Chains A and B, each alone.
Chain A
Amino acid sequence: MTDTFDKGNAAFIAKRYASERRFKAYGAVALAVSVLFLVYLIVDIGIKAWPSFFEHRVVLEVNLDASKIPADEVLKGDFEGLVRGSLRSLFPRVTTRGDVRSLTSLLSAGAADDLRQDTAANPASIGTTVRAGALLGDDSDLYLKGMLTTTLRMPGTTNLQLAQSGEEFILTGDLSQLAVGQIVRANGGALRITGVEAGLAKAEAILPPATLNSLTPGTWDILSFSRAEADRRIDDRQVVLLEALRDKGVIEKHFAWRFFTSGDSREPELAGLRGAIFGSLLTLIMTLSLSVPLGIAAAVYLEEFAAKNKWTEIIEVNINNLAAVPSIIFGLLGLAVFINFFGLPRSAPLVGGLVLALLVLPTIIIASRAALKAVPPSIKEAALGVGASHQQAVFHHVLPLAVPGILTGTILGVARALGETAPLLMIGMVAFIVDVPKGFTEAATVLPVQIFLWSDLPEIAFQSRTAAAIIVLLVILFGLNAAAIYMRKRFERRW
């Protein structure tokens, strides 16, 4: 050794201490990176998810025309037509076919669903005029959330003269505020500036103005966008209509309960998690009812009764290996054995539960064994001493004391099963399921698979829905983990 301690060599000691501090800092940085990654992950997904928990509705006065609603089958009434008609009545000047289509395209395909349900629940309202919230479509919704473009409104502060030549409109006067691509809203219409030349600006009508009156300051305004029309999913005409609705004050923002109470849908604004949550629930019931009894029984046998021989050693090595087998392999097992060989139904919670039960079995066995091992032998010995049989000692005295530990392990197993996706893809739980599964053999999907399916869809709105579904899943998982930690703290017993 050359680096022996030398009393006089202060520089050497300083170097060693610097190295010590450096090493400690590396460790702190490594931990910080992991923690920051976790925080960044959750914040990033949270920010993406936040808009999805809200939805926009346009509040309409709808006359529930009795001739459009059959009295005996209220649900079959033409509520779409009523809602659309009511929306059109807000814009008496929107008459051309294209404009009307733009207007109705603002609404969701399920815009009338709420009204339909309300009316069915309260048939007495037929024939009267009710206020109804009509859900807006995903693009309108995203626009109102500011996710498609940032819209700037500037009040018009100059005097302009308006003239029409054929299809084209000409603006003259003080053009200092105008630029190409902007929309001038005046005289009950909206004009898009197509060119600004010396002394005059050309514009085309998005909504034709009612008159050609001159524009004075305060009577007109300008909309300008951070993203050009070609680069966004909503066109200028829809924007003008939406802004008009916003000006009328009929657009309301609500918490999107729909996200939890409706099933999957091809329309992002209608898609919800209900089916997936129930699918997860059924699958978990199946998983738990199999893996918990099996796991505890196996743990009790291996920990308390098994003789140390070749057979138990094989079982032990097996369990440890199974715990590290990739989950997708369990999916292959499920596909080849449960579906192909036994002919169980595809996509069903039954098969999903079976596969996940085998997947979490090692986790539960290992946790249960640790819990059983933690019970001091004196408990068992005392029971044996007063004449209990071996099984009585274990089942009446050791096992009850190990229950908190077993429960903690089980909760962690459940958390793992709840987040597992890959094996369920293999057994076909990727079907498009709108409805809540009615039984263990019906086709179903589960939360993580729903997340996977939505993440594959091209619509931007689904991106946010995916993030929101992830937040729901994470909240459930954190809840489970917190429960496990609480149980560990609450029932932990030092002998």
Chain B
Amino acid sequence: MTSWTLLIIAALTATGFFVGQAKAQGLRNAGTASLHSLPAYHGLLMASMALAAAGITTLAVAAIAGPNSLVMPAAAALLGTGAIAASYRIITRDFRARNRFEFFVMLVLIACSAVAVLTTVGIVFSVLFESLAFFSEVSPIEFLFGTHWAPTSTPPSFGLIPLLAGTLLITFIAIVVAGPLGLLSAIYMAEYSSRKMRGVLKPMLEILAGVPTVVLGFFAALTVAPLVRNAGESLGLNVASESALAAGLVMGMMIVPLISSLSDDIINAVPQALRDGSYAMGATKSETIKRVVLPAALPGIVSAFMLAISRAIGETMIVVMAAGLAANLTFNPLAAVTTITVQIATLLVGDQEFDSAKTLSAFALGFVLFCFTLVLNYIALRIVQRYREQYD
């Protein structure tokens, strides 16, 4: 029925446009004084009336009677035609169709921009409700401070600490890799490289940024992890085959482009006058960068790092494919650890029952993850915003 209803709505909308336009055109041809609005606006207004009437009816019927009921297309057709008939009578020479139509357009635009807010609200509520359901079974204290995570064992235990430790360990490795690489790359591109070189290097980093994480995960699991393992063994170390180091290294490479492009923008935003002043004092380029440009750009760079940390914490595929599943509470980068995102993914892939603590715990983890990244993002974005205002 859905496709029939959509077809009816489309037909009514088109009809509305042509009927409205024809009537206005008739008025225009008949009279001597001109119309207030162009005939096309009369048509558009009538079309949008028909669309709104039929569309809202359809949604209402679908919500009450289900999408397969025969009532849906019938009601849509009836109300759509009604809307056309009703608005046919109000088309006159002085009718302000354009203003009405523009009002309608504005409503649509506002509704569209509200979707972003609705999405956030949807995320918060979906995660929050399921988390509350979870916390009615497991106490929040036990969840937040427990040091043992085993959701599938009997009795299950839901202690966040090992997951948090694993997440932070991998994130730490990633930042240790990506921080210097990204920042130095940005400095080189912003301050040293020629225009031509920049034109080559920047797209390269963009390509690296565009590599899907599932690809990086495959690379981490099949190439980097054995490399790390072999290197460790040749040094006489005992390296787990799903070591945090391998996942962290590849994740670091993933966020290099993020750090470098954000830092690049920020370094470029530092006014040239500051550099010129430093050069005039006889400083070399690197001295200028280290003592003038970087301190001036520091807030922005800090926020770039925070966004990078938030990205690393929320990254899923690399760790799902290259990190472990067992929750070990360790800070040894050569051991296998698991992360919050890995657990969410493993708990929710496959069939879920929404009443088991096991499934709900994934939402509680999601809630923790969301809060974590939200705080990081919010602070970082505020810093960038304030900083931008400073130099603009």
A interface list, Cβ under 8 A from B: 5, 16-17, 19-20, 22-24, 26-31, 33-35, 37-38, 41, 44-45, 48, 293-294, 297-298, 300-302, 305-306, 314-315, 317-322, 324-333, 335-337, 340-341, 358, 361-362, 365, 389-391, 415-416, 418-422, 425-426, 428, 430, 448-449, 451-452, 455, 463, 466-467, 470, 473-474, 477-478, 481, 485
Contact of B204 (CB < 8 Å), options: A38, A325, A389: A38
Tell me, rounded to whole Å, the shortest Cβ–Cβ distance linking A291 to chain B: 9
Tell me, rounded to whole Å, the shortest Cβ–Cβ distance linking A415 to chain B: 6
CB <8 Å contact, A321 and B377: yes
**Cβ of B311 under 8 Å from chain A:** yes
CB <8 Å contact, B117 and A422: no
Q: Given A34-B185, A332-B363, A448-B212, are A315 and B113 also a contact pair (CB < 8 Å)?
A: yes
B366 / chain A contacts, CB cutoff of 8 Å = 328-329, 332
Q: Given A30-B188, A321-B378, are A361 and B213 also a contact pair (CB < 8 Å)?
A: no
Q: Which 4 pairs across A and B sit closest by C-beta, in order of nearness?
A: A326-B314, A27-B188, A419-B212, A336-B126
CB <8 Å contact, B212 and A477: yes
Tell me, rounded to whole Å, the shortest Cβ–Cβ distance linking A147 to chain B: 14
Give 18 new A-B contacts, CB below 8 A, not counting A31-B184, A301-B110: A20-B285, A29-B184, A33-B181, A34-B185, A38-B207, A318-B116, A318-B120, A320-B377, A321-B374, A332-B362, A335-B348, A362-B116, A391-B105, A422-B317, A425-B349, A426-B345, A452-B217, A477-B211
- For the complex, give the distance between the alpha carbons of A305 and B363 in Å: 38
Stretch at the interface among B15-23, B83-91, B218-226, B235-243: B218-226
B191 / chain A contacts, CB cutoff of 8 Å = 27
**Cβ of B208 under 8 Å from chain A:** yes
19 contacts between A and B (CB under 8 A): A26-B184, A27-B191, A30-B188, A34-B253, A41-B211, A315-B117, A325-B370, A325-B377, A326-B310, A328-B344, A333-B127, A337-B122, A358-B115, A416-B210, A419-B214, A421-B317, A422-B213, A455-B214, A474-B215
CB <8 Å contact, A470 and B215: yes
Number of A-B pairs, beta carbon distance below 8 Å: 257
A44 / chain B contacts, CB cutoff of 8 Å = 219, 223
Residue of A nearest to B252 (CB): A37
Contact of A300 (CB < 8 Å), options: B102, B109, B285, B321: B109
Contact of A358 (CB < 8 Å), options: B119, B218, B321: B119
- For the complex, give the distance between the alpha carbons of A38 and B217 in Å: 14
B349 / chain A contacts, CB cutoff of 8 Å = 425-426, 428, 430
A448 / chain B contacts, CB cutoff of 8 Å = 212, 214
B221 / chain A contacts, CB cutoff of 8 Å = 455
Contact of B374 (CB < 8 Å), options: A17, A30, A301, A325: A325
Residue of A nearest to B285 (CB): A20
Q: Given A300-B109, A318-B120, A337-B122, are A31 and B219 also a contact pair (CB < 8 Å)?
A: no
CB <8 Å contact, A455 and B102: no
CB <8 Å contact, B212 and A30: no
Contact of B113 (CB < 8 Å), options: A298, A322, A332, A430: A298
Q: Given A37-B253, A38-B204, A333-B122, are A326 and B112 also a contact pair (CB < 8 Å)?
A: no
CB <8 Å contact, A16 and B287: yes
Residue of B nearest to A295 (CB): B112
**Cβ of B256 under 8 Å from chain A:** yes
Chain B 276-299 interface 0/1 with A at a Cβ cutoff of 8 Å (1 = within): 000000101111011000000000
B363 / chain A contacts, CB cutoff of 8 Å = 332, 336
**Cβ of B114 under 8 Å from chain A:** yes
**Cβ of B187 under 8 Å from chain A:** yes
B282 / chain A contacts, CB cutoff of 8 Å = 5
Q: Given A31-B188, A34-B208, A391-B102, are A298 and B112 also a contact pair (CB < 8 Å)?
A: yes
- For the complex, give the distance between the alpha carbons of A327 and B313 in Å: 11
B130 / chain A contacts, CB cutoff of 8 Å = 336
Chain B residues 112 to 171 lying within 8 A of chain A, measured CB to CB, are 112-117, 119-120, 122-123, 126-127, 129-130
Residue of A nearest to B114 (CB): A315
Chain B 62-84 interface 0/1 with A at a Cβ cutoff of 8 Å (1 = within): 00000000000000000000000
CB <8 Å contact, A365 and B109: no
Chain B 166-183 interface 0/1 with A at a Cβ cutoff of 8 Å (1 = within): 000000000000001111
CB <8 Å contact, B120 and A294: no
- For the complex, give the distance between the alpha carbons of A372 and B206 in Å: 23
**Cβ of B230 under 8 Å from chain A:** no
- For the complex, give the distance between the alpha carbons of A463 and B221 in Å: 11
A20 / chain B contacts, CB cutoff of 8 Å = 284-287
- For the complex, give the distance between the alpha carbons of A422 and B313 in Å: 14
A16 / chain B contacts, CB cutoff of 8 Å = 284, 287
B223 / chain A contacts, CB cutoff of 8 Å = 44
A37 / chain B contacts, CB cutoff of 8 Å = 208, 253
